[in-house]
Amino acid sequence: MNAPASSLTLREPRKPQDYPALADVLNASNPAWPVTPELLRTWDEARDPALFNTQLVAELGGRIVGAGGIGHDDFAFEEWRYFGNLAVHPDVRGQGVGTALYDGLLRRVRGRGAREVRTMISDEQTDAPGRAFVEKRGFAVVWERYESRLDTRATDLARFDDLLASVAADGVEFRSLTELRAEPERNRWLWELDWELFQDVPMGETLTKRPLEVWAKQELEDPTLAPDLSFVAVRPELNDPLTGPYIGYSTLGRNPSGFYYIGMTGVKRADRGKGIAKALKVAAMRALHALGGGEIRTFNDPPNVAMLGMNEALGFVRHSRSLRYELKLEDV
């Protein structure tokens, strides 16, 4: 890699005025998952204020050409563990922008006693942190995640009629998040349900529970969430002290470019094996189809054999991978 250009400068991002330029860099470096300035602002404001996070932008000739951030991992929090990412505009690759950002961010967390740094890289990413970039710096792959895709416009949804009927006959009702918004305990029940379900998702790490207020901002108030297409499985007669009548749920989010993605799908242990999780996804697929249809993307970890098999039965086709890299700082 070449030495940084003499006009390269690093600085803190200026918000909100830098959000459009940041979105341009991120979209150029990862066009498969475009973002908007408004989303970047919302996601920044939804961060847990109790956790550390720091960001840098890189300028060449007064133009923002790179950006990066690093902070505590709120999904798997340890004081010494950090999660980071950076992006460089393809126009300026090979000019030391990524290296400058990486070194600047790493210095900040080393000064806080960091022992481990993680990042995720998709097969579809076209820019740093690319695989060669992080591997050169000592990062190693510790986990992979599969992405699969389905288009409701090319799926025979009528073949799931019997499945939905059997779930309904068992006394389970599906309610959209929109239909449940007047329920005063909705957020708390969903928060507890989400935490319970995630305990059984094989993600290769020990998860931590986000505070209710943070979780609600990041999940239920995210502008990409499609509440009309996200469903909760309800047993009306149930009154669990933590989750009320909720026994499962599945969410769909909508990327600004138009495709949808599944956020979480799960059912409580006592109700597994009855087709409820599969039916939740079918309900979302049918609701989307009624609006004209579209592409749905989902992500699963290799040990989650049951969910991978379910998605295949629904018609999802494997597309790409995301790789989780880790750097043990005591080794470098």
Domains of the chain listed by start with CATH number? 8-137 (3.40.630.30), 148-322 (3.40.630.30)
Render pLDDT for 187-215 as a digit per residue (tens, 0 to 9): 999 999 999 999 998 888 889 999 999 99
What's the mean pLDDT when you consider all of the chain?
94
SS3 string of 287-321?
HHHHCCCCEEEEEECCCCHHHHHHHHHHCCEEEEE
Per-residue confidence (pLDDT) for residue 122, from 0 to 100: 87
Q: What are the helix and strand counts (H, E) for the chain?
A: 9, 12
CB burial readout 276-286, b (16+ within 10 A) else e:
bbbbbbbbbbb
pLDDT at 3 over 60: no
| 126 — pLDDT class (breaks 50, 70, 90) | low
Q: To which H or E segment does residue 214 belong?
A: helix 212-215
Question: CA-CA distances (angstroms) from residue 94 to 20, 76, 100, 247?
Answer: 24, 33, 11, 51
| 254 — pLDDT class (breaks 50, 70, 90) | very high
Per-residue confidence (pLDDT) for residue 262, from 0 to 100: 97
Distance CA 12, CA 34 (A): 23
Render pLDDT for 303-323 as a digit per residue (tens, 0 to 9): 999 999 999 999 999 999 999
pLDDT at 127 over 80: no
Render pLDDT for 131-173 as a digit per residue (tens, 0 to 9): 889 999 999 999 999 999 999 999 999 999 999 999 999 999 9
| 257 — pLDDT class (breaks 50, 70, 90) | very high
Q: Residue 284 corresponds to which amino acid?
A: A
Dihedral through CA 45, CA 48, CA 51, CA 52, nearest 10?
-10
The strand ranges marked E within 80-122 are 81-88, 116-122
Question: CA-CA distances (angstroms) from residue 117 to 113, 123, 128?
Answer: 11, 20, 16
Find out whether 296 and 261 touch, Cβ atoms under 8 Å: yes
Q: Stretch 225-249: mean pLDDT, rounded?
A: 98
With pLDDT > 90 as the criterion, what percentage of the chain qualifies? Answer: 90
